[in-house]
Structure 1
């Protein structure tokens, strides 16, 4: 097959591209330039897709012996990821830009261009597995190494995208093995640290970035009764479940710590309360998709597991499509769920689908 390998400049995508070449595919490497602002994605940043990363990817492509290109996706990235991130925070939600990047950039814009240019598949360094059932339907499954499993951030993929996705690292038992392979191949990326933080906020100061791009102002921190218990320097700088950094001037009656329960950008308020008030008994989202075949009867409740963060443990649950929403009821309350997060639904190792969380139902009502 003729395949396009997305090469971020990290060790995982380097080895994935090399394995695709070893498997006999005709491979072309591509690195995505996601910013035109030289001070944003710069050499030495803690994100990914920097100038340094592009150079590393080119060196690896030369060693593998494949053509290599840099494609400018900065305009699309700003519109579909950065602007979405800002809009979500302005609405008081907690977005996941990595989910949006996989959904709208790597497996929408990039895959669309690849197919238009005659490529058969897109190769990435994600730790996940695509299996084919007896009827020929493609399914997304967890990677062999659960510690590195990245199927959560791929939960946004649909059937058409899975049909053209290749993940050569899915069966690899450990990241150490990938690094050892890269070392043996002479890749400059072999011992390169993993990227982390949000790539377009390379210094890791999300609150400062939001202050510049969203615009923030002082407001009140209130308890669940609406009484003012402190002040804040911008509601968008807080997330559900946060404990540290709260400027509280009125102690809780029971003396226990308080946590952010809700962010209200419309009134510029941050609502705080006890930890148990973070327990969620139900979550739902109208923006849901299926990764491959949908359940045969989604309007009938079915057993599953739900995961709400990339590295969280899956929780047994029951899901159902009701009134245009994917409604998920965990077997035991999940702590600290925020609107805007993504709930990924699993059946065994298979990723069944996902929903962007629009609303939650607390396990303990505010009046209790």
Structure 2
């Protein structure tokens, strides 16, 4: 009879997932490593690969597994990744929104398909190198037979607030959280590096990957131009009154809040306010025009049961919200609109800058993630 709990660790070849695997092994888990192969852009002729699943990354992950003497598996998720992450990314841009592919990768790939694969390999848990924490609490509830005890899981931001990745995890459910582990969430990046060095892990000095993994050269406009010809078509630059100020190079080259590279001049700086795909127009305005005191969100998911219950009852919630990764949380009030889409109305305590449709808005109560949604 197996006594040890078995944990499958998503190993990317980076120091974070390597240390996560080592920590669990030292805590007495039976550990297996899983490396995922994602989609590679066939239209790129260079040898540059997807950053988190390159040959180098695979070699590093395998070396760590060998060092820890754990089983190691390589799974080809290129097709579902293309369909669920890359195609979603392109579809959102085509609609004039700025998507967050990491959120969708976590939702559909890591914590859906990979979690199922982990179960198929006999694992009790799936662990990742995300900087986030889990807190398990016991709740007493009554049923027909009397009192029972159930567990409620709280998703918390990481100890290292600079590296905190809880923003990307708002789509998780209580059922998924039961089977997840975030071993490095209680450590700072500096501590993680030190542990890797102390345990002589091959990835101790490996640099962190940055940017969108399936765009390894970090040239998002070029990527969009390859797949969305519409977004590289020239069009008018308009002010808020509809006056033509110039010509843009293609909507794929711009983001909300952008100031430089517009190719137009005025007495005061101008900023991108909106990408109007229907008119192929770039809308610009002053710095103050970027600030809004509220927004609508859809596609919401609630991790914290009480928050979900209160919103569904029609009650308003006071909390904090982040409108992008790295953004400082801002106090706000949430309420549910009476509509078929079940949109949320968010009113901020003070105006926030450059609200971007398609990005995630994540709700917090102090360091606890309540849930999130997509900015409409």
TM-score range normalised by the length of the shorter chain: over 0.9
Who is 1:347 aligned against?
A: 365
2:260 to 221, 244, 253: 244
What secondary structure, in the 3-state scheme, does the structure 1 residue paired with 2:35 have? strand
Kept in 1, the 8 Å contact 2:297–2:344? The answer is: yes
TM-score by length of 1: 0.92
Please give the residue correspondences for 1:250-289 in structure 2 after superposition, counting only pairs within 5 Å.
251-252=265-266, 255-289=267-301
Question: Using a 3 Å threshold, how does the CA distance of structure 1 residues 322 and 294 change in structure 2: closer, same or farther?
Answer: farther
The superposition leaves residues 316-350 of structure 1 with CA deviations (integer Å, 9 ceiling, x where unpaired) of 11112222112211110110011001000001111
Q: 1:42 to 1:106 in 2, by over 3 A?
A: farther
Rounded to whole Å, the distance in 2 between the matches of 1:165 and 1:110 is: 11
Q: What is the CA deviation profile of residues 74-132 of structure 1, one whole-angstrom value per residue up to 9, with x for unaligned ones?
A: 00000011111100100000111111111111111111222244321110011111111
Structure 2: distance between partners of 1:114 and 1:101: 16
Aligned-partner Cα distance in 2 for 1:334–1:280: 6
What does residue 361 of structure 1 align with? Answer: none
Are 1:15 and 2:28 matched, yes or no?
Answer: no
- The residue that corresponds to 2:35 in the other structure is 31
Partner of 1:311: 326
1:69 aligns to 2:73 (yes or no): yes
Is 1:214 aligned to residue 232 of structure 2? no
Aligned-residue CA RMSD in angstroms? 1.7
SS at match of 2:97: coil
Match for residue 158 of structure 2 among 116, 138, 143: 143
Q: Following superposition of structure 1 onto structure 2, how do residues 161-180 of structure 1 map, counting pairs within 5 Å?
A: 161-172=176-187, 174-180=188-194
- Structure 2 gap segments, 5+ residues each: 140-150
Q: Please name the residue that 2:168 is paired with.
A: 153
Tell me if 1:333 matches 2:335: no
CA contact (8 A) 1:155 1:291 kept: yes
CA contact (8 A) 1:321 1:327 kept: yes
CA contact (8 A) 1:41 1:50 kept: no
Deviation of 1:42 (Å): 8.2
Deviates further, 278-287 or 289-298: 289-298
Q: Shift of residue 41 of structure 1?
A: 11
Which residue is 2:216 aligned to?
Answer: 202
Shift of 1:47: 3.1
For the Cα contact (< 8 Å) 1:94–1:341, is it kept in 2? yes
Q: How high is the TM-score relative to the length of structure 2? A: 0.90
Give structure 1 stretches of 5+ with no counterpart: 359-368
**Are 2:170 and 2:369, in contact at CA under 8 Å, matched by a contact in 1?**
yes
Does the CA contact (< 8 Å) of 1:222 and 1:272 recur in 2? yes
Structure-1 separation of matches of 2:326 and 2:274: 23
* CA positional deviation for 1:46: 8.1
Distance 1:69 1:351, change over 3 A: same
1:228 and 2:232 matched: no
User: What is the DSSP-based 3-state SS (H/G/I as helix, E as strand, rest coil) of the residue aligned with 1:80?
Assistant: helix
Q: Cα deviations across residues 278-337 of structure 1 (Å, max 9, x unaligned)?
A: 111111112100124251311211110001122111111111222211221111011001
Distance 1:26 1:187 in 2: 18
Residue 89 in structure 1 maps to residue 88 in structure 2: no
Misfit runs of 4+, over 4 Å: 36-46
Q: Which moved more, 1:87-96 or 1:324-333?
A: 324-333
Give the secondary-structure state (helix, strand or coil) at the position aligned to 1:134. strand
Secondary structure class of the residue paired with 1:110: helix
User: What is the rounded CA distance, in whole Å, between the counterparts of 2:276 and 2:51 in structure 1?
Assistant: 29
